[in-house]
Amino acid sequence: NISLLHDGLCGGCENKKCDFFSVCESDQMGEAHCVCPRDCSQEDNPVCGTDNVTYKNDCELRKTACEKKLPLQVAYDGDCVLADLCKGVKCKHGARCESGVCICPTNCPSLPEEPVCASNMKTYANECE
């Protein structure tokens, strides 16, 4: 025979949606709470997050995502090498760093005309051109 235990949801977690890798746990009163991962193994299995940060393992990434409420994912297994390649690289004239190399912009912003002479002996309207 099945009988009434209490009013409300059983365990409270049946319809509870948790984000950022948290899981639903019910307290003694049947109230549902989203809880972040607590105990990650100390296993050294590095992953690179979509924030270009290397995490000790996948669990540590999920724990950080949950605690900081960030939409982090594993970008790839291993250390974040591409992010490190741009550390300390200073690109000039509006260029940006990608994989340790300065990439020139495809369109230059409207800059005042300040002619420059390049090493190819051509005159350009400004340094960006």
Q: What pLDDT score was predicted for residue 15?
A: 81
Q: 6 pLDDT band (50/70/90 cuts)?
A: low
3-class DSSP assignment, residue 48: strand
Each domain of the chain, given as residue ranges in start order, spans 23-82
Q: What is the pLDDT of residues 62-71, one digit of tens each?
A: 999 999 999 9
Q: What pLDDT score was predicted for residue 125?
A: 74
3-class DSSP assignment, residue 103: strand
CATH 3.30.300.30, applies to 23-82: no
Residues 6+ apart with CB under 8 A from 55: 46, 47, 48, 49, 61, 64
Task: Tell me how long the chain is.
Answer: 129
The pTM for the full model equals 0.56
Are the C-beta atoms of residues 72 and 60 closer than 8 Å to each other? no
As beta bridge partners, residue 124 has 116
